Amino acid sequence: MVGISVKRSKSLLIEQYIAKLERGEALLDDSSQNLVEVVGILKSYGVVLDAYSINLCYIANTQFLKLFPLFKYFNGQINPNKVAKFVWHDRLNYEYAEYCMKAMFWHGGGGLDTYLDTPEFAAETERLVKAYFKYNPLMLALHKAFKDFLPEQMRQMAYYSALGQFWRVMSDIFLNLSDSYDRGEIKSIPDVVKFILDGLVADATRPITYTVEVRGQEFDIIPKAAGLTFLADTAVPYVEAIFFRGTPFTGTVSYNAQAYEIPYDPGMFNYGALYADPLPIGGAGIPPTLLMQDMRHFLPDYLRQLYQHQSIRGTGDIRVQICESFQKSMFCVTTAAVKGLAPYPLDTQNSEQQAANRKYLKGWLNRILESQLVKVNSQIQTELKPV
């Protein structure tokens, strides 16, 4: 009985959300506070992503095949001041960017993942390895003994580069969004979604390539000919890997094999950004803490003041509050992605197109409604106090 009623209420919920999307609304409820939170957090996220993106591309372009990339987070600027700041950990947590890259790499999906297993890729990396370790017989011997070791590293580097390029676009979108909001052009959550969607569409077919240089010789690890594009080969796999699947956090999930808490199929993972519980943020074994920590430095004043007022602890629990806003903003990004990938425009009046759309939306919503969305939308919004 219970099972049936749960099922029924879920399908009811899906209907509600489909209607909502067809009306042109976003997954996230539209409210003034949500708008402030989403735009504000995307502003600081944009700043952080900008830095992440630059660093990922730097690593991919210059630190490949290095056994000891000690200064990989320095972007080539090694000076005592930067080293001191690094040692004091007064820096962005680029580890989080790598964490996302690794999760994306591990989950795979999309054209990039497929390309990395092609003979073309293998041949090019082989050429690269031979050239790079030309004067290092030890490494060449190791390469002979463990033939996948270095290619696997280069596959990872390809993901470094791809994620860097993806985030370049996203960072620009988010920062432009914030500027647009500051100019008073963004007035609601649907406006936010539309802005992001336009950005994604504009860059949808932007090619993803990766070329490295060894002693003046160029190697096309991902050539333009591979035909990899921004939306299909980085954005979609990214949403799948980071928003939906993620990796289980050691701080909340047991890896014990006999406890069977983690599914066998990574496709069934639901540890991604949309699902994660914001409450444990800041604790042990919760990797997104790194991102929240990075974002706290770049919050716009209006958002900081909102946090100051809405929590009994003021900014004492700011990382949890950031995470809550961040999740809201990611629902907007997800809405944009869902809209962008829909077979037909969602406001179509053609019933055949509508049916196709609904089938498509049902697939998404089935997963999205398991996430924190319902909880986020059911939260009572504290009224914004005039500051």
Q: Contact positions toward other proteins, by CB under 8 A? A: 67-69, 87-91, 93, 95-96, 99, 105-106, 108, 142, 145-149, 152-153, 155-156, 247-248, 250-259, 262, 264-266, 277, 279-287, 289-290, 293, 297, 311-313, 316-320
CB 360 within 8 A of CB 11: no
Alpha-carbon span 95 to 75, nearest angstrom: 14
Q: Which is nearer to other proteins, 290 or 341 (CB)?
A: 290
Please report how close the Cβ of residue 263 comes to other proteins at its closest, in angstroms.
9
Alpha-carbon span 143 to 122, nearest angstrom: 13
Alpha-carbon span 149 to 138, nearest angstrom: 14
Alpha-carbon span 80 to 94, nearest angstrom: 19
Please report how close the Cβ of residue 46 comes to other proteins at its closest, in angstroms.
21
How is residue 207 annotated by DSSP?
A: B
Q: Which is nearer to other proteins, 207 or 248 (CB)?
A: 248
Helix/strand/coil percentages in the chain, nearest 5 = 65, 5, 30
Please report how close the Cβ of residue 170 comes to other proteins at its closest, in angstroms.
21
Please report how close the Cβ of residue 56 comes to other proteins at its closest, in angstroms.
15
Pairing type for strands 210-214 and 217-222 reads antiparallel
Q: Which is nearer to other proteins, 99 or 230 (CB)?
A: 99
CA-closest candidate to residue 46, choices 140, 158, 138, 180: 180
Please report how close the Cβ of residue 4 comes to other proteins at its closest, in angstroms.
27
Q: Which is nearer to other proteins, 106 or 363 (CB)?
A: 106
Q: Which is nearer to other proteins, 201 or 279 (CB)?
A: 279
Amino acid (1-letter code) at residue 374: V
How is residue 380 annotated by DSSP?
A: P
Please report how close the Cβ of residue 325 comes to other proteins at its closest, in angstroms.
14
Q: Which is nearer to other proteins, 163 or 281 (CB)?
A: 281
Helix axes 2-22 and 351-368, enclosed angle (nearest 10): 130
